[in-house]
Amino acid sequence: MKVSYYNIYTKNKNNVICYNTKCDSFCVLSNADAELLKNNLQKLSQESPKAYNDLIKNKFIVEDETDEYQELCQEYDASINSPYTYHLTLLPSLDCNLRCWYCFEKHIQGSHLTAENSQAILEYIKQLFSRNPELNYLNVELFGGEPLLYFKEELYPLLSQIKQYVTARQKRVSFFFVTNAVCITPDTLPLFNDLNATFQISIDGYKDRHDQIKFIPETKEGTYDNMVRTIYMLTEQMENTYINLRINYDDETLPYMKDLIKDLIDVNRRKIGIHLERVWQTGTFMNYDNEELKSIINLWMLNGFKVSYMNMARRSYSCKASVRNQCVISYDGAVYKCSGRDFTTEHQDGVLSPDGNIHWNQPKLDKRLSIVTYDNDLCRKCKFLPLCWGPCCQKQLETTPNDFRRFCQKQNMELNIADYMRYRFNNAYISNSFNQ
């Protein structure tokens, strides 16, 4: 037997936390057992047989012949080529009702789905299912611009038809809205309920700060109070919803996070998760041992909230733009793979025709799909590979391997690895105990 390559050890007060990134599991060991796990498996099996067997069962120790890296390569390959799921992102409008200063998108005023393009999207989905009998799950994400600008009159009728079509075939469909929440009003709730909608809602810290960034341009009215009310409304009145509350932070917002926690203290913890994301334009001032961030993460967790920090949940690929069964369709029929760049002709990868067929720019698509995101000198040996899978395909298309270090998640983390591991451990166990 041998020790898994993907074990990461972190000293805790009187013991050692061991996290296996490949299996996404933790164990807590005495200092003595941790030393034996690292250096002398035979002695561990004799002195702590129960711990030894548990470590085998949970893959912290693996068979000598196991090639863990090869297993990961196979996992990646299977998931990016999976015929079972299709990831469809729709951009119902590239207009927005707010104008956050950091938004990368070029807004197209008044842009919206026409009846013809809605029909073409529905037709595309019908063809997907009839051409791919193995397809059993359609994962629809609504993005923009602000995707809810014409929700009742244009988007909901399309999504409702998609839902009816997919469920009539006894297949599964889900709808995830990335929104600023301004257009979620009580009268739209039954429609979201019908779609079993889940959401990502962005917030820019405490009230004053948020209202300076996210306000209605015409009236200058801030959107914070309305957004907090909407979060309560969704979590109280929708049985099956989930909100990923994305908090865009910078050094000025962190000290005021307590106010936000107070405002959300009564939200049902099972229906909300907190994601902390630095406003990327403020990254040059980053502190790589950010005590303030650490204490804020702890404060959310101590109040029973699940927290995610960095894009490092266990998954099987870097970004869904690498997945074969994936595309982004805009309101005007333009088709993209990546949703993290301007939706302009320069970044376009294809076009949806009225008969529901996508005509891809095949050489461009092939080039993207040929990138194996972790297959480079930086990532191959990285213990975080199962959580990260390397710089995304878009970044790799735009740069050369010499630049990859600048995108490395380990380099861009504001916690040291030991603090990061303790946070993951606490997140897995402390907030879970609140939610039982």
Cα gap 179→143, rounded to integer Å:
7
Considering only the stretches 39-47, 112-120, 162-170, 408-416, report the one whose residues sit in contact with ligand SF4 under the rule CB under 6 A.
408-416
Q: Which of 392, 414, 422, 425 touches ligand SF4 (CB under 6 A)?
A: 392
C-alpha triplet 45, 72, 426: angle, nearest 5°: 65
Scanning 92-155, the segments in alpha helix (DSSP H) are 115-131
Q: Which residues contact 267 (CB under 8 A, 6 or more apart)?
A: 231, 232, 235
Q: Shortest approach of ligand SF4 to residue 171 CB, angstroms? A: 25
Q: Which residues contact 295 (CB under 8 A, 6 or more apart)?
A: none
For residues 18 and 428, the answer to whether their CB atoms sit within 8 Å is no
**Binding flag, residue 409, ligand SF4 (CB under 6 A):** yes
Cα gap 243→76, rounded to integer Å:
28
**Binding flag, residue 401, ligand SF4 (CB under 6 A):** no
Q: Closest CB to ligand SF4 among 209 and 424?
A: 424
Q: Shortest approach of ligand SF4 to residue 399 CB, angstroms? A: 12
Structural tokens at position 396: 């790799």
Q: Which of 94, 391, 415, 419 touches ligand SF4 (CB under 6 A)?
A: 391
Residue the block writes with tokens 């603090």? 419
**Binding flag, residue 348, ligand SF4 (CB under 6 A):** no
When CB distances to ligand SF4 are compared, the closest residue is 340
One-letter amino acid identity for 94? Answer: L
Cα gap 122→128, rounded to integer Å:
10
User: For 331, phi and psi rounded to 5 degrees?
Assistant: -55, -30
**Binding flag, residue 364, ligand SF4 (CB under 6 A):** no
Q: Which of 1, 286, 410, 434 touches ligand SF4 (CB under 6 A)?
A: 410
**Binding flag, residue 118, ligand SF4 (CB under 6 A):** no
**Binding flag, residue 91, ligand SF4 (CB under 6 A):** no
Structural tokens at position 141: 């994400």
Q: Closest CB to ligand SF4 among 119 and 409?
A: 409
**Binding flag, residue 369, ligand SF4 (CB under 6 A):** no
Structural tokens at position 197: 């909608």
Q: Which of 27, 37, 62, 321 touches ligand SF4 (CB under 6 A)?
A: 321
For residues 194 and 108, the answer to whether their CB atoms sit within 8 Å is no
Cα gap 20→387, rounded to integer Å:
10
Q: Total number of residues binding ligand SF4 (CB under 6 A)?
A: 21
Cα gap 200→37, rounded to integer Å:
41
**Binding flag, residue 372, ligand SF4 (CB under 6 A):** no
Q: Which of 36, 158, 388, 415 touches ligand SF4 (CB under 6 A)?
A: 388
Burial grade of 401 (CB within 10 A; 0-12, 13-18, 19 or more): exposed
Cα gap 280→341, rounded to integer Å:
14
For residues 256 and 207, the answer to whether their CB atoms sit within 8 Å is no
Considering only the stretches 125-133, 142-150, 275-283, 333-341, report the one whose residues sit in contact with ligand SF4 under the rule CB under 6 A.
333-341
Q: Which of 199, 343, 384, 425 touches ligand SF4 (CB under 6 A)?
A: 384
Q: Closest CB to ligand SF4 among 217 and 401?
A: 401
Q: Which of 173, 319, 372, 421 touches ligand SF4 (CB under 6 A)?
A: 319
Q: Shortest approach of ligand SF4 to residue 265 CB, angstroms? A: 33
Q: Closest CB to ligand SF4 among 8 and 267?
A: 8
**Binding flag, residue 385, ligand SF4 (CB under 6 A):** yes
Instruction: Name the site residues for ligand SF4 (rule: CB under 6 A).
Output: 319, 321, 338-340, 374, 378-379, 382, 384-385, 388, 390-395, 408-410
